[in-house]
């Protein structure tokens, strides 16, 4: 399993009636598949995120959406970027992603992180807890989830979670890949080294090379070959049909995302990514097109520019 070129769909506010929302999502996923993306990813959030839109904007539940996408695509991998661990019982999450794998004929990836959006927890009644507590919960969850994804019964009498020989059938693969998302050097990277097949690094681009160095150290600390942990980087793509549109999109970037956003035509963005992301040592790119990905042809245009960067 590897995410060399992923397409993330974080925005569900489109022109047209709400009844067509999923049709627009499905059209993007099919276009991504046809254009050469290997994975389509959705956020696991309940409200739209600051920096993309107001909380009231449309947000589809992640696993319902991925299950539906499994039926309108045939080869592209399906994942969240990433599942908020705090929103689901871990054994049930293992069952959920395994069911997605079955209905998609072996295309699911479990993307997972500790959870961070406090307002969602408050409004929906989920316990948020402290930063440290959320990572304690994530470690316990992974202790339950990872054996279940391999078909092994899971047992844990933990502080946060309990499992008593939890079984997970049916399955169509020996194991389902696990991807962690985040940038924490002490907690997230250590958990990735222990449990994950893939690490999606979310950080300012200037920090990327250093973060990858720390990730390698975390693998070496436990005797793992760093080459066995695949990596990718999440890019906010402000990609215009021409330089004029790209300039307009660039003016919409929130201040806290400016060091993760790439602005220009598809070819210009590809050049920037080659230098700053691939050049830093990352293995794959996941890009979103939050302002115009729903426009027919945009996903294809971006894929054609980015595929040479990640071809084997």
Report the CATH number at residue 240: 3.20.20.30
pLDDT given for residue 116 in this prediction:
96
| Mean pLDDT of the region 210-221 | 98
| Mean pLDDT of the region 124-138 | 98
pLDDT given for residue 256 in this prediction:
80
pLDDT at 201 over 70: yes
| Mean pLDDT of the region 88-96 | 98
Give residue 249's pLDDT band: very low, low, confident or very high (50, 70, 90): very high
pLDDT at 93 over 70: yes
**Rounded mean pLDDT of the chain?**
97
Give residue 153's pLDDT band: very low, low, confident or very high (50, 70, 90): very high
Q: What is the CA radius of gyration of the chain?
A: 19
pLDDT given for residue 258 in this prediction:
87
| Mean pLDDT of the region 137-153 | 98
Both tokens assigned to 271 = 């050049």
| Mean pLDDT of the region 193-210 | 96
Q: Which of 117, 129, 113 is nearest to 50 (CA)?
A: 117
User: 256-269, pLDDT tens digit by residue?
Assistant: 888 999 999 999 99
Which residue range is the domain that position 135 belongs to? 5-310
| Mean pLDDT of the region 221-243 | 97
Taking the C-alpha atoms of residue 113 and residue 136, their distance in angstroms, rounded to an integer, is 12
* Total domains, the chain: 1
| Mean pLDDT of the region 197-220 | 97
| Mean pLDDT of the region 73-86 | 98
> Burial level of 174, CB count in 10 A (0-12/13-18/19+)?
exposed
Q: What is the pTM of this model?
A: 0.97
Taking the C-alpha atoms of residue 85 and residue 124, their distance in angstroms, rounded to an integer, is 14
């Amino acid at each position: 399993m590897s995410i060399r070129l992923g397409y993330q769909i974080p925005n569900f506010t489109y022109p047209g009636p709400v009844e067509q929302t999923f049709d627009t999502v499905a059209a993007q996923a099919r276009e991504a598949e046809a254009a050469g993306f290997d994975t389509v990813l959705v956020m696991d959030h309940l409200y739209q995120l600051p920096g993309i839109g107001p909380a009231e904007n449309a947000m589809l539940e992640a696993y319902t959406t991925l299950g539906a996408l499994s039926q309108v695509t045939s080869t592209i991998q399906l994942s969240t970027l990433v599942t908020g661990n705090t929103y689901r019982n871990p054994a049930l999450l293992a069952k959920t992603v395994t069911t997605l794998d079955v209905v998609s004929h072996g295309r699911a990836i479990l993307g997972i992180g500790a959870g961070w959006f406090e307002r969602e927890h408050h409004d929906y009644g989920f316990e948020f807890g402290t930063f440290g507590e959320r990572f304690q919960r994530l470690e316990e969850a992974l202790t339950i989830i990872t054996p279940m994804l391999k078909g092994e019964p899971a047992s844990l009498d933990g502080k946060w979670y309990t499992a008593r020989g939890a079984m997970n059938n049916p399955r169509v693969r020996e194991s389902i890949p696990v991807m962690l998302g985040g940038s924490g050097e002490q907690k997230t990277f250590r958990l990735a080294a222990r449990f994950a097949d893939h690490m999606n690094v979310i950080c300012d681009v200037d920090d990327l090379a250093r973060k990858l160095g720390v990730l390698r150290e975390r693998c070496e600390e436990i005797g793992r070959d760093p080459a066995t942990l695949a990596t990718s980087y999440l890019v906010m793509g402000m990609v215009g049909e021409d330089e004029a549109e790209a300039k307009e999109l660039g003016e919409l970037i929130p201040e806290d995302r400016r060091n993760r956003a790439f602005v220009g035509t598809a070819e210009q963005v590809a050049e920037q990514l080659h230098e700053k992301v691939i050049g830093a040592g990352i293995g794959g790119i996941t890009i979103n097109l939050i302002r115009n990905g729903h426009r027919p042809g945009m996903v294809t245009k971006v894929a054609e520019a980015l595929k040479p960067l990640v071809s084997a």
